[in-house]
């Protein structure tokens, strides 16, 4: 899943980016409202984390603009502790939740996960394909009843494949959706992580499920690529 953090305090933005990446999310950062709005309009994000007070457009103006263009991406607003009016304005503008500064990362992560689960009817908490089950709430995956020991990034990859099983996924699509804008598109990071995920899936079942489509990408399919 891909998250945009719009925060002008660079230490706070770096802290959020690092923490969310460690949880397996792809994270882009903008340090002013104008850049944040452009990124939010151009790219397909699963969640926006917006500070209210920003250079250029404010977080509230960003939310209003997105909602006016029928962008339904969930929004978590960050506000100063004494800025109750900003909370009201943000929620009325279309924000989904808010968090007052200062905050602990565990609390922010809980809000992020809740908003991602609430993201729409097309986001069930549980995904199943063949003998693999993935629980988005518990952040756990099993095959044939055996829990898979996945890193956060491997879990995110498996989730992406299970959302669209039997569909060939290009490497560029994985870079865009599972990693973030700072990754070198010529890197072999996708192939390495997919290789690790394939081996872990193989340990829990004799039938390979994750296959390479030469020159294109990968597919999650029972019986191999078509």
Give the side-chain half-sphere CA count within 13 A for 197.
28
Q: Residue 154's Cα: distance from chain center in Å? A: 13
**For residue 121, is pLDDT > 50?**
no
Answer whether 177's CB lies under 8 Å from 26's CB: yes
Distance between CA atoms of residues 3 and 114, nearest Å: 14
Omega prior to 183 cis, within 30 of 0:
no
Answer whether 120's CB lies under 8 Å from 112's CB: no
**For residue 86, is pLDDT > 90?**
no
Cα–Cα nearest to 2, from 13, 165, 17:
17
Give the side-chain half-sphere CA count within 13 A for 164.
10
Omega prior to 194 cis, within 30 of 0:
no
- Chain segment 20-44, per-residue pLDDT in tens: 988 888 899 999 999 999 999 988 8
pLDDT for 49: 96
Distance between CA atoms of residues 34 and 167, nearest Å: 36
DSSP letter at 123? -
- Chain segment 156-205, per-residue pLDDT in tens: 899 989 988 999 988 888 887 787 766 666 678 888 999 999 999 987 66
List Cβ neighbours of 139 (8 Å cut-off, separation of 6 or more). Answer: 155
**For residue 117, is pLDDT > 90?**
no
Give the pair of three-digit tokens for residue 216.
């294109």
Give the pair of three-digit tokens for residue 86.
């900003």
Domains, the chain, ranges and CATH? 2-117 (3.40.50.2300), 126-220 (1.10.10.10)
pTM: 0.68
Judged on CB neighbours under 10 Å (0-12, 13-18, 19+), 132 is: buried
Answer whether 217's CB lies under 8 Å from 195's CB: no
Judged on CB neighbours under 10 Å (0-12, 13-18, 19+), 203 is: exposed
β-bridge pairing 140-143 and 217-220: unpaired
Judged on CB neighbours under 10 Å (0-12, 13-18, 19+), 92 is: exposed
């Amino acid at each position: 899943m891909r998250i945009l953090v719009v925060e002008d305090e660079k230490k706070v933005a770096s802290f959020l980016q690092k923490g969310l990446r460690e949880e397996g999310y792809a994270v882009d950062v903008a340090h002013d409202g104008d850049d944040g709005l452009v990124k939010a309009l151009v790219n397909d994000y699963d969640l926006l984390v917006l500070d209210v007070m920003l250079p250029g457009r404010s977080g509230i103006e960003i939310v209003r603009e997105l909602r006016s263009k029928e962008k339904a991406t969930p929004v978590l607003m960050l506000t100063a502790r004494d800025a109750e009016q900003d909370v009201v304005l943000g929620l009325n503008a279309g924000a989904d939740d808010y968090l007052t500064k200062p905050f602990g990362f565990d609390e922010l992560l809980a809000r992020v996960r809740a908003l991602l689960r609430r993201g729409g009817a097309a986001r069930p908490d549980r995904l199943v394909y063949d003998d693999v089950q993935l629980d988005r709430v518990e952040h756990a995956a099993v095959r044939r009843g055996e829990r898979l020991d996945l890193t956060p990034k491997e879990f995110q990859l498996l989730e992406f494949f299970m959302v669209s099983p039997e569909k060939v996924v290009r490497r560029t699509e994985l870079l865009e959706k599972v990693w973030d804008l700072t990754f070198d598109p010529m890197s072999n990071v996708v192939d390495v992580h997919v290789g690790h995920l394939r081996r872990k899936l193989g340990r829990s079942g004799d039938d390979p499920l994750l296959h390479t489509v030469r020159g294109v990408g990968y597919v999650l399919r029972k019986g191999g690529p078509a």
